[in-house]
Amino acid sequence: MANQELTLTSGPSTLLHAMQILQVTAQGAHRGAGIDDYLDALNVSRPTLYRLLKSLKEQGFLRSSTQRGRYLLGYELLVLGAQAGNGAGLRDLARPRMLSLAQSLGDSFYLFARDGVNAVCLEVQNGAYPVGSFVRATGGRVPLGVGQASIALLACLPEGERDEILAINASLLEREYAISICAVKTEIDHLHEHGFSRGVEGSLLPEFAGLAVPILDHSGHPLGALSCSMLKSRMTDAHRQDVLAHMKKETLELVNQAHGLLFFE
What CATH number is associated with residue 48? 1.10.10.10
Q: How far is Cα 65 from Cα 71, in angstroms, rounded to an integer?
A: 5
16 and 102 inside one domain: no
Segment 170-204, tens digit of pLDDT = 999 999 888 999 999 999 999 999 999 997 865 56
Residue 154 lies in a domain: yes
pLDDT, position 169? 96
Domain final position from 80, 103, 125: 80
Residues 65 and 46 in one domain: yes
- Phi, psi dihedrals of residue 33, rounded to the nearest 5°: -145, 155
Q: Using a pLDDT cut of 90, give the percent of the chain over it.
A: 53
Q: Domain limits at 248?
A: 85-261
Grade residue 67 by pLDDT with cuts at 50, 70 and 90: confident
Is the domain of 207 the same as that of 181?
A: yes
Q: Report how many domains make up the chain.
A: 2
pLDDT of residue 183: 93
Task: Judge residue 189's burial from the number of C-beta atoms within 10 Å of its C-beta, 0-12 exposed, 13-18 middle, 19 or more buried.
Answer: exposed
Q: What stretch of H or E contains 122?
A: strand 118-126
Same domain, 125 and 253: yes
pLDDT at 88: 52
In the predicted model, what is the mean pLDDT of the chain? 85
User: pLDDT at position 143, please?
Assistant: 94
pLDDT band with cut points at 50, 70 and 90 for residue 258: low
Count Cβ atoms below 10 Å from residue 54 Cβ, excluding itself.
13
Domain-located, residue 6: no
Q: Is the pLDDT of residue 104 over 60?
A: yes
Q: Is the residue at 5 inside a domain?
A: no
E strand or H helix that includes residue 198: strand 197-198
CA 244 to chain CA centroid, nearest Å: 22
Is residue 41 one of the residues assigned to a domain?
A: yes
